[in-house]
Amino acid sequence: MSDALVIANGIVVTMNDSGEVLHGGTLVVEGGRITGVHPAGEAVTPPAGARVIDARGKAVIPGLVDLHYHTALGKGYSDHLPLLEYLETCWYPIIRALDPEAAYWAALASYSESLRSGVTTVNDMYRQLDALGRAAEEIGIRAVLSNDVATDEHNLDTLADNETAHRQWHGKAGGRIEVRVGIEWLPLASPELLRDARGLADQLGTGIHIHLNESLGEVETVRERWGRRPTELAYETGVLGSDCVAAHCVWLSDAEIALMRETGTQISHNPSSNAKLGNGIARVPEMLAAGLNVGLGHDAAECNNSRDLFEVMKFGSLVHRANRVDAGLLQAPQMLTMATRNGSRALGHETGELSVGRKADVVLVDLHDQAFTPLEPGNADHLYSHLVFAANGSAVSTTIVDGVVVYDDRVFTTVDEDEVLAKANESFLRILERIR
């Protein structure tokens, strides 16, 4: 049976260097990659045995990249607390009590919500990575996994755990699954651990995923303990670099922005989580002005309540416009770029745009929806506006990862969603009973 796809007659939002939007365009997918991108009226010969998807009345966009992600079990539980109190009374107790079964169902529930909302790649820091790998392989998502590593007294994961996960899962599922070295955050780390993390990442030929400068409390704790701001300490210990995704970065000084630029470190902006936890608003306009690559993440459903990256795009624009009293900031095409191309670039992936040779991570968005009414034919700016400021993940009808249709006309092809939701809920209640 052929694995080829033809996605015909859609509005193809390529996100390529020229920003082309092809009205009535066609994509051809073979072997998990895009082999043809055709404007309306151009003759297309479908590969033998190809499935043809009629995308008439749909926008065809690159899959979204959730650049900072935690599989989550306890969405909405104890979410009235500020960051530090929340971590100590809810987040850490839950992830310390995790068992492989709970982690597996939590991951499937998390990944299913992401896929149905158009997210095809997650950069997921959590625990029980063997269970996460099984879930990612089964459901069909592209997953970059990392352990929640801290110094031993905090009873989380170790670098040895991370090395084991890398050897078990890196490159599996046809390359869809990767494993990076994860560092929880600097209040739970030490300079020695940071240096060892960089050494392990280099030894394994992989990257690093770390929280940096998320809260003012974090900055002050690290300064008091080590005499440096978090990003300065990460720089001195070699953690920063083009293979490092630094999450949050809310409280970067000018000097720290310069260090990020010098090292080419990738930034994940998580505006909804930062706002909900009362941590502040990152200096994204300054980051972009400095030439930093900034992608978007939802963080965790416990501190966001949704894994919908469409919502993050909208809020990520509005919060900066309100804060700076400037409606010219972070226009719709720039937000979609952050959620696609920038996230892909941060992870070194060949996704994020619909161009020949790129991996076929593709999402179809139904335009027969209130969110897209009215829509002027041929007006790309109007479409961008609706995608970022009006739509949410419920408009997604089909999600394709590596050329495989995993969410087909709003139905999963790889898992039983009803079972996933039921088992995730059972797992939450079991773990909750364990920590009480």
159-169 and 129-139 are packed helices; what angle lies between their axes, rounded to 10 degrees? Answer: 30
User: In 3D, which of 33, 31, 34, 25 has the Cα closest to residue 54?
Assistant: 25
- CATH 2.30.40.10 positions along the chain are 5-62+353-412
- With a cut of 80, say whether residue 78 has pLDDT above it: no
Location of structure tokens 């969405």: 75
Q: Do residues 23 and 42 touch, judged by C-beta distance below 8 A?
A: no
Percent of residues, the chain, with pLDDT higher than 70: 100
Which span out of 212-216, 276-280, 430-434 was modeled with the highest average pLDDT? 212-216
Mean pLDDT of 335-362: 98
- Global pTM value: 0.97
139: which 2 tokens?
Answer: 């459901």
pLDDT digits (tens, 9 = 90+) for 212-263: 999 999 999 999 999 999 999 999 999 999 999 999 999 999 999 999 999 9
- Return the pLDDT at 317: 98
Least confident piece of the model among 55-69, 81-95, 287-301, 330-344: 81-95
- With a cut of 90, say whether residue 121 has pLDDT above it: yes
Give the DSSP H or E segment for 217: helix 216-226
User: In 3D, which of 92, 72, 144 has the Cα closest to residue 303?
Assistant: 72
Least confident piece of the model among 81-95, 291-305, 388-402: 81-95
Least confident piece of the model among 38-42, 110-114, 333-337: 38-42
Gyration radius from the chain CA atoms: 21
- With a cut of 80, say whether residue 12 has pLDDT above it: yes
Please tell me the total number of residues recorded for the chain in this structure. Answer: 436
Percent of residues, the chain, with pLDDT higher than 90: 92
pLDDT digits (tens, 9 = 90+) for 93-119: 999 999 999 999 999 999 999 999 999
Q: Where does the pLDDT of residue 170 fall: very low under 50, low under 70, confident under 90, or very high at 90 and above?
A: very high
- CATH 3.20.20.140 positions along the chain are 64-347
Q: Do residues 149 and 161 touch, judged by C-beta distance below 8 A?
A: yes
Mean residue pLDDT of the chain comes to: 96
Fold of the domain spanning 64-347: TIM Barrel (3.20.20)
- With a cut of 80, say whether residue 298 has pLDDT above it: yes
Q: Where does the pLDDT of residue 1 fall: very low under 50, low under 70, confident under 90, or very high at 90 and above?
A: low
Least confident piece of the model among 64-78, 128-142, 337-351: 64-78
- Return the pLDDT at 76: 83
- Return the pLDDT at 77: 83
Burial of 385 (0-12, 13-18, 19+ CB in 10 A): middle
Fold of the domain spanning 5-62+353-412: Urease, subunit C; domain 1 (2.30.40)
CA-CA distance, 198 to 206, in Å (whole number)? 10
CA-CA distance, 149 to 188, in Å (whole number)? 9
- With a cut of 80, say whether residue 80 has pLDDT above it: no
